[in-house]
Amino acid sequence: QIVLQNVSQSSLKASKDLQKEFATIEKKKEELADYLCEDRKKLSLEDVFSTMKTFREIFLKTLQ
């Protein structure tokens, strides 16, 4: 029973840590949206990273 209690406490702590990380990511995403003059609620990090990747690929091709 002690092992189960330790596992439960560890899981709870990990869950709280993960929630903090998600909150930090969300805050940074909102800051990025403000910096890019985008709507905070509509900004997609996937789209931003995809655009950056495409830009990088085109930029590197141009350098060659």
pLDDT along the chain (64 residues), means of 10: 79 93 95 93 91 96 94
How far CA 61 is from CA of 47, 50, 51, in Å, comes to 21, 17, 15
pLDDT of the residue at 25: 94
At 62 the pLDDT is: 95
Whole-number pLDDT of residue 21: 96
What integer pLDDT is reported at residue 20 of this predicted model? Answer: 96
Q: How many domains does the chain have?
A: 1
Q: pTM here?
A: 0.65
Q: What does the block give as tokens for 37?
A: 């003059």
Q: Which domain holds residue 10?
A: 1-63
